Structure 1
Amino acid sequence: MLQNDKKNGFIELGRFLSQFSEKESTMDPSVLQNDLFFEDFENLIQLSQSHNGWYTPENVIFAVQSWATALTEENLEKWLSAYNFDKVKPKTVGLILAGNIPLVGFHDFLSVLISGHNVVIKTSSNDQFLLPFLAKYLIAVEPSFANKISFVEGKLENFDAIIATGSDNTARYFEYYFRDKPSIIRKNRNSVAVLNGKETKEQLLALGEDIFRYFGLGCRNVSKLFVPKGYSFDAFFEAIFDYQDIIHYEKYANNYDYNKAVFLMSNFKLLDNGFLTIKEDVSYASPISSVFYEYYDSIAAVQIRLQLEQEKIQCIVSNNLVENSIAFGQTQTPNLWDYADNVDTITFLSTI
């Protein structure tokens, strides 16, 4: 299968996905295979919350739009220009996917196929429908993919390499079970924001997107704030008040009530605005509906801390306070070349 054919298939998939929006999905007659797929995908988006209560139509469409933005000819060319696939010998790569947010495993799926390999996929029970649907569309617009994509429900077998995503506990199992195979094993990671009190209201509002998108379930969601001693959270709470409607989602509200009760029964000191609790804690992983914070003496000290504990961190948000940080509001829209855990998936796939 030619590299250009693979790339064009994903460009067409991007054009297909670009038709769907939260306000109104509009069919573009120039998009291939719309007569077979447009209405069914529109229905799947609306049904996703019945398959997984966290997959609201709004969040599914956000994920879809993010991939529509990424899968352009310009982006794919920029991403792939750094690699040489001439010496890649097609292997079969197994994927064990997470299901915490919609299409969370799509980048691995894309990377395996664009590298020239075959992919065998075990989806999460929490996300069993979206990726298989997009795979069918991809095959419809580029039939050469048909023999390169398969899904399994039971035990994953007959593969040459593995990319597996799970918790720290499942990662230990993966590392043992797949010890004889080339592998990328992903563990728990969290994202943090470093503030200095000079952030604008617009930046803090954008930080709310980093916190609340996907209900905070993603590894790119900000779950921990580093703030200077004496920091006042008044401006932060004022800015994120626009996200108050999140409390109307039953699953989120249940977590808010439960986690708040646990904190209070443990006599923890909390800041609370009715839909988010803020707790001083050295941990990175806060529960749903809560964000941890920690005071710092200097930005330099935070920088050293984050470097020492980089294996726990997915991304860092700040107003250029910390090296390699990204802008507020950008955590859930990574580029194709922004690799999970800073592990270059394409380089791994080019050397197996």
Structure 2
Amino acid sequence: MGYKVVVAGATGNVGREMLNILAEREFPVDEIAVLASRKSLGTEVSFGDKTLKTQDLDTFDFTGWDMALFAVGSDATKIYAPKAAKAGCVVIDNSSLYRYDADVPLIVPEVNPDAVMGYAKKNIIANPNCSTAQMVVALKPLHDRAKIKRVVVSTYQSVSGAGKAGIDELWDQTKGMYVPGQERAAAKFTKQIAFNVIPHIDVFMDSGDTKEEWKMIAETKKILDTSIKVTATCVRVPVFVGHSESINIETEEFLDEDEAREILRVAPGILVVDKREDGGYVTPVECVGDYATFISRIRQDVSIENGLNLWCVSDNLRKGAALNAVQIAELLGRRVLKKG
């Protein structure tokens, strides 16, 4: 016996990835509904070897459905997630709307699976920000061994994190460099993204941090440990898919780089590729389509007493969004609904 599953926002990048991953992982689906806004109504999407037509999110009745994976943005989620939850359908939401709600668990299954039991307060579970998700997967096993005090992270985030418009803008600007008359000014991003990097993701806050940087701080504390101090600089780079992070960690206890490497090798969701030679590390191009969070460049930071540096790469459309949502659905099935 399987589950009745809804994917809302099925025509977007993340929604399509959710469908792909549900099929790839053979999630026990008895029935599936794919929803979209009225402007995308009737659009066909793939689910394994099936082709499905989207239904209208605005009129859909969630009664009798087990779980709904939402990838529709905060504005639409604010309207439709409570309707689904009230109808008894557990919502797994990819937007930022509920991440900081004390009554909604924020979950990365490799890190805080027990938090799933908090779903019952609102019948909603939040999926974290893409840059946070891969980082906490890397931090968790090290934190368990040596207790992390402080994290300094610089991100190198792909344009797909900004949706289809971000991908299109990089593509069009790149073409415009070589094809006269095809030039395209910045629209989705604040400055040219082709052959450039932009130290600005989301809006600026009064502190001088951007909202993306604030998200990494707040979410790491909620998911992993409120006592960890985090500072972040988030940068958009001209890469289509795959977020990279340079992470500096300060621990309470000394942790040797060799021990850290072995801890990470056996940790769930992580693949260590760390050879001190040309090409002995993973780059965004190599992580696309993979489930793993890749860790490379593990080394001691000798500038502080108990410091480590590492390089972290993951497919942001997968672990940073769709995969994590499906893993939450699997966790919910195992721990709570217990049908599959």
Q: What's the TM-score bracket when you normalise by the shorter of the two chains? A: 0.3 to 0.5
Structure with the greater relative contact order (CA < 8 A, sep ≥ 6): 1 or 2? 2
Larger Rg computed on CA atoms: 1
Q: Which has the higher strand share?
A: 2
TM-score (norm 1): 0.38
TM-score (norm 2): 0.40
